[in-house]
Amino acid sequence: MALQVKENVPLAPLTTFEIGGSAKYFVDVKTEDEIREALAWAKEKGIKFVVLAGGSNVLVPDEGLNALVIHIAGGEHSFAECELIADAGCDLLELIKTAGKRGLGGWEKLSGIPGTIGGAVRGNAGAFGPEIRDFVVSVDALNAETGETKEFSNSECDFSYRHSFFKDHPEWIITKVQLRLTPISIDISIHLVEETIREREKRHIQNVRAAGSYFVNPVAPKEIQEMFEKEKGMKSREGRVPAGWLIEKAGMKGATVGGAIASLQHPNYIVNQGGATSHDVLNLAQTILSQIETQFGVELHEEAAIL
Ligand SMILES: Cc1cc2nc3c(=O)[nH]c(=O)nc-3n(C[C@H](O)[C@H](O)[C@H](O)COP(=O)(O)OP(=O)(O)OC[C@H]3O[C@@H](n4cnc5c(N)ncnc54)[C@H](O)[C@@H]3O)c2cc1C
């Protein structure tokens, strides 16, 4: 199929932040062949490419992107016994629901994490305990520089908390994911999906103009970990404390810059209250970052990708 490259496509509607300018060039792709074709097009034009998928963990600059935006959305999936093989652009929630209808699950707690299966693998998305790495058998990826394709085993994906090999190596574009699920009753799977989404709505972490948690939970010095454990009565995991807790402690909950706010319900969400620019978000993030560093000696790092 010949590629349909469009020009000056607004990106804000394709992101959950609903912020940012247009893509100079833009193409919708689903398959590895289409991604390969898009990369060749960008190379021939001598312009950069940027991968955008579900748009739920990105901040697009107000100026837009002088690049070819390769929009990986949609695709095919198939089942082989307990395994699910899905193109990177498949929607995560749709896959969870479809698998559930076949009596395969175990990953229902990931329901409601917006975005694609490819995006989830790249950031090792997780919620309420499980992470996508718990289900990944292998990942097919295409190297944008060499054209090579490779099947990465779970261990080669180098997963850790909100991290994978692909986060450090943006030249590798995820094209397909193979997952192993467990047999489950269809009714239980449906119930777990609904329950998880209700819980997310209750916690105000669903359907907001944000990119999810803006910062990853940072590794903190021992005394900060102890402060957290004493105050919350729970153990810190891997030496990390919740970024939202630090933001609240620093007095930054509800802080605003322009149309951007550190959410009152979930301070680690920077929310577009309407009309926020990417500069508002970046300025607010910078203020939070330096306050946390000054007050607690802890360095925060963005989870959201600043495109
Ligand atoms: C309301 C809300 C709630 C959220 N809750 C959670 C949560 O509970 N847990 C959690 O982990 N996350 C959460 N997130 C963050 C987000 O949903 C996840 O990070 C999601 O997995 C991103 O997938 P995406 O398809 O939207 O990726 P995008 O946002 O489109 O892209 C994110 C990054 O991944 C890269 N990328 C995307 N697809 C590919 C690919 N195929 N190959 C290589 N690179 C790729 C992009 O270039 C970009 O750098 C939440 C976000 C929102 C808005």
| Residues 89 and 192 grouped into a single domain | yes
211 part of a folded domain: no
Name the catalytic one among 32, 108, 131, 303.
Answer: 303
Strand (E) or helix (H) holding 70: strand 65-72
- Domain containing 236 — which CATH number? 3.90.78.10
| Residues 145 and 28 grouped into a single domain | no
| Residues 108 and 54 grouped into a single domain | no
Residue 1: per-residue pLDDT: 55
**Residue 226 CA to ligand 1 centre (angstroms):** 31
213 part of a folded domain: no
| Residues 86 and 67 grouped into a single domain | no
Q: Is the CB of 16 under 6 A from ligand 1?
A: yes
- Domain containing 93 — which CATH number? 3.30.465.10
| Residues 103 and 14 grouped into a single domain | no
Nearest CA to ligand 1 atom 12: 125
59 part of a folded domain: yes
Q: What is the pLDDT along the chain (307 residues), one digit of tens a residue?
A: 578 999 999 999 999 999 999 999 999 999 999 999 999 999 999 999 999 999 999 999 999 999 999 999 999 999 999 999 999 999 999 999 999 999 999 999 999 999 999 999 999 999 999 999 999 999 999 999 999 999 999 999 999 999 999 999 999 999 999 999 999 999 999 999 999 999 999 987 888 999 999 999 999 999 999 999 999 888 888 889 999 999 999 999 999 999 999 999 999 999 999 999 999 999 999 999 999 999 999 999 999 888 8
Q: Is 290 a catalytic residue?
A: no
**Residue 35 CA to ligand 1 centre (angstroms):** 18
Name the catalytic one among 213, 236, 263, 278.
Answer: 213
Final residue before a domain boundary, out of 145, 167, 202: 202
| Residues 67 and 84 grouped into a single domain | no
Q: Is the CB of 166 under 6 A from ligand 1?
A: yes
217 part of a folded domain: no
278 neighbors 190 (Cβ within 8 angstroms): no
Give the residue, out of 39, 56, 169, 206, with the most ligand 1 atoms within 8 A of its beta carbon, to mutate for a pocket test. Answer: 56
Which atom from ligand 1 is nearest to the alpha carbon of 53? Answer: 30
Final residue before a domain boundary, out of 20, 38, 72: 72
| Residues 111 and 145 grouped into a single domain | yes
Between CA 225 and CA 242 the distance in angstroms is 10
Between CA 49 and CA 40 the distance in angstroms is 10
Domain containing 149 equals: 77-202
| Residues 83 and 178 grouped into a single domain | yes
**Residue 121 CA to ligand 1 centre (angstroms):** 9
Domain count, the chain: 3
- Domain containing 41 — which CATH number? 3.30.43.10
Give the residue, out of 26, 52, 57, with the most ligand 1 atoms within 8 A of its beta carbon, to mutate for a pocket test. Answer: 57
Residue 238: per-residue pLDDT: 84
| Residues 173 and 233 grouped into a single domain | no
| Residues 85 and 68 grouped into a single domain | no
- Convert 36-45 to b/e letters by CB count within 10 Å (16 or more is b): bbbbebbeee
Residue 304: per-residue pLDDT: 86
214 part of a folded domain: no
208 part of a folded domain: no
Give the sign of the dihedral formed by CA 6, CA 168, CA 114, CA 57: negative
| Residues 57 and 82 grouped into a single domain | no
Q: Is 94 a catalytic residue?
A: no
- Convert 161-196 to b/e letters by CB count within 10 Å (16 or more is b): ebbbbbbeeeebbbbbbbbbbeebeeeebbebbeeb
Report how far Cα 205 is from the mean position of its chain's Cα atoms.
14
Q: Is 303 a catalytic residue?
A: yes
